[in-house]
């Protein structure tokens, strides 16, 4: 079977763009079959044969088993990101059943960004106070992570507005 590996970077808050790109690849006949840090391995498939989904979720073998029972195939995980694919012949494939589950997913992402951002801020401040020349790197990372947190919060607010309109 023909395979290829693509190296590509996505920020955590752009997970939807990552998922869109993975599905564009599947639509072109390259479905995800392996994943690593910034590394995606694809294998040849029929165009539009699969849908790929990803979710930030703590390791949970029961969840993976449940997803496999629905016809989804577990591809792999990178840190807390889990990747699945499913043949389109089995019907629509979505990991989130309603607006609340989508908002909860964004909460998980936001919490991770907050924790890592605050840690970088504190380390950067301590390093700067101690006149360590690398303190600015942590402060820069903290700024970038807080920007990402703002992007996630914007997505949450949009979903909350949409939920309000539907009620």
Q: Mind listing the pLDDT tens digit for each residue in 33-68?
A: 999 999 999 999 999 999 999 999 998 899 999 999
User: Taking the CB of residue 47, how many other CB atoms lie within 10 A of it?
Assistant: 11
Secondary structure class of 163 (helix, strand, coil): helix
- As a whole number of angstroms, the distance between CA 77 and CA 81 comes to 5
**Which CA distances in Å does 51 have to 17, 46, 109, 119?**
14, 12, 22, 36
Residue 53 contacts by C-beta under 8 Å, 6 or more apart in sequence? 19, 72, 83, 84, 85, 86, 93, 94, 95
List alpha helices for the chain, DSSP H: 15-27, 61-69, 99-129, 135-166
Beta strands 30-36 and 50-56, pairing class? unpaired
Q: What is the pLDDT of residues 107-163, one digit of tens each?
A: 999 999 999 999 999 999 998 888 877 888 999 999 999 999 999 999 999 999 998
Q: Is the pTM of this model over 0.95?
A: no
Cα angle value 111/35/46 (rounded, 5°): 120
Q: What is the pLDDT of residues 10-32, one digit of tens each?
A: 999 999 999 999 999 999 999 99
């Amino acid at each position: 079977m023909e395979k290829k590996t693509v190296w590509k970077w996505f920020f955590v808050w752009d997970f939807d763009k990552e998922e869109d790109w993975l599905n564009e690849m599947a639509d072109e006949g390259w479905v995800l079959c392996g994943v690593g840090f910034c590394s995606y391995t694809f294998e040849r498939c029929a165009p539009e044969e699969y849908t790929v989904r990803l979710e930030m979720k703590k390791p949970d073998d029961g969840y993976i088993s449940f997803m496999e029972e629905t016809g989804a195939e577990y591809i792999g995980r990178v840190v807390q990101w889990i990747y699945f694919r499913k043949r389109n012949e089995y019907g629509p494939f979505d990991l989130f059943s309603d607006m609340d589950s989508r908002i909860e997913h964004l909460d998980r992402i936001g919490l991770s960004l907050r924790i890592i951002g605050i840690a970088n801020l504190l380390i950067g401040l301590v390093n700067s106070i101690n006149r360590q020349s690398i303190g600015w790197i942590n402060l820069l990372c903290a700024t970038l992570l807080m920007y990402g947190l703002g992007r996630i919060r914007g997505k949450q607010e949009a979903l909350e507005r949409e939920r309000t309109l539907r009620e």
